[in-house]
């Protein structure tokens, strides 16, 4: 059964913002590749220290791209699993939320709870039986390493689509130019 009323509005807003983040992640990947090519005239990374800026852009872009993709799919399909980051809290651990969430001291978002209920994260930062202690950075890193083949396939498909877009744009540009020459 789908969500109703105000939650339907929240669903579409979440989808919209995740779609914007998805586009930003894609833009970061493309920008990283363009910077790499501009600096070194090749997509291949020969010297990691000389390619650190484009490499950071590409890695951050890929991470944002996948997280936003799952957010979009989760919002559209109303999937609890996809909207939440499975079994993690904070970037490095639950203490990342210290003094940053809620009015009660040592609170974490309810999404950090093992059994998510309203208000379950209030004052529960140190309680390993109530909240996940592992940071989301570690969880995402393990997920990407586990699915590295799919990450590579997705990157290659996106690169192919971008190259096809450039080729079609060049073809259109040539067609437009030849149309002006005929007149």
DSSP string covering 107-127, please? ---GGGBSS--TTTTTT-TT-
Of the candidate ranges 27-31, 129-133, 161-165, the one whose mean pLDDT is the lowest: 161-165
Q: Round the average pLDDT of the chain to a whole number and report it.
A: 77
1 pLDDT above the threshold of 50:
no
Sorting pLDDT into bands at 50, 70 and 90, what band is 66? confident
Q: Are 112 and 94 in contact (CB under 8 A)?
A: yes
- Average confidence (pLDDT) over 129-151: 83
Summarize pLDDT for 42-52 with one digit per residue, the tens.
Answer: 666 666 666 67
Percent of the chain whose predicted confidence (pLDDT) is above 70: 79
Percent of the chain whose predicted confidence (pLDDT) is above 90: 0
More confident site: 75 or 115: 115
d(CA 150, CA 135): 23
More confident site: 130 or 67: 130
More confident site: 112 or 86: 112
d(CA 103, CA 29): 38
d(CA 142, CA 171): 42
User: Pick from 135, 138, 140: which is nearest to 108 by CA?
Assistant: 135
d(CA 130, CA 116): 9
Sorting pLDDT into bands at 50, 70 and 90, what band is 3? low
pLDDT of residue 183: 54
Question: What backbone phi and psi angles, to 5 degrees, belong to 158?
Answer: -65, -40
Q: Are 89 and 107 in contact (CB under 8 A)?
A: no
pLDDT of residue 98: 82
- Average confidence (pLDDT) over 61-76: 77
pTM of the predicted model over 0.85: no
CA-angle at 156, arms to 154 and 158, nearest 5°: 70
Of the candidate ranges 7-11, 107-111, 145-149, the one whose mean pLDDT is the lowest: 7-11
Question: What backbone phi and psi angles, to 5 degrees, belong to 131?
Answer: -125, 160
């Amino acid at each position: 059964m789908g969500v109703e009323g105000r939650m339907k509005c929240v669903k579409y807003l979440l989808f919209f913002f995740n779609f914007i983040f998805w586009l930003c992640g894609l833009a970061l990947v493309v920008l990283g590749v363009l910077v790499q090519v501009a600096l070194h005239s090749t997509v291949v990374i020969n010297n990691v220290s000389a390619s650190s800026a484009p490499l950071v852009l590409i890695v951050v872009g890929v991470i944002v791209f996948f997280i936003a993709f799952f957010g979009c799919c989760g919002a559209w399909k109303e999937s609890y699993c996809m909207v939440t980051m499975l079994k993690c809290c904070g970037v490095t651990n639950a203490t990342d939320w210290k003094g940053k969430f809620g009015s009660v001291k040592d609170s974490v978002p309810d999404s950090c709870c093992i059994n998510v209920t309203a208000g379950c994260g209030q004052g529960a930062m140190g309680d390993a039986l109530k909240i996940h202690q592992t940071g989301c950075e570690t969880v995402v890193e393990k997920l990407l390493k586990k699915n590295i083949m799919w990450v590579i396939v997705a990157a290659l498909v996106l690169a192919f689509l971008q190259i096809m877009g450039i080729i079609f744009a060049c073809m259109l540009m040539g067609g437009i130019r030849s149309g002006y020459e005929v007149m």
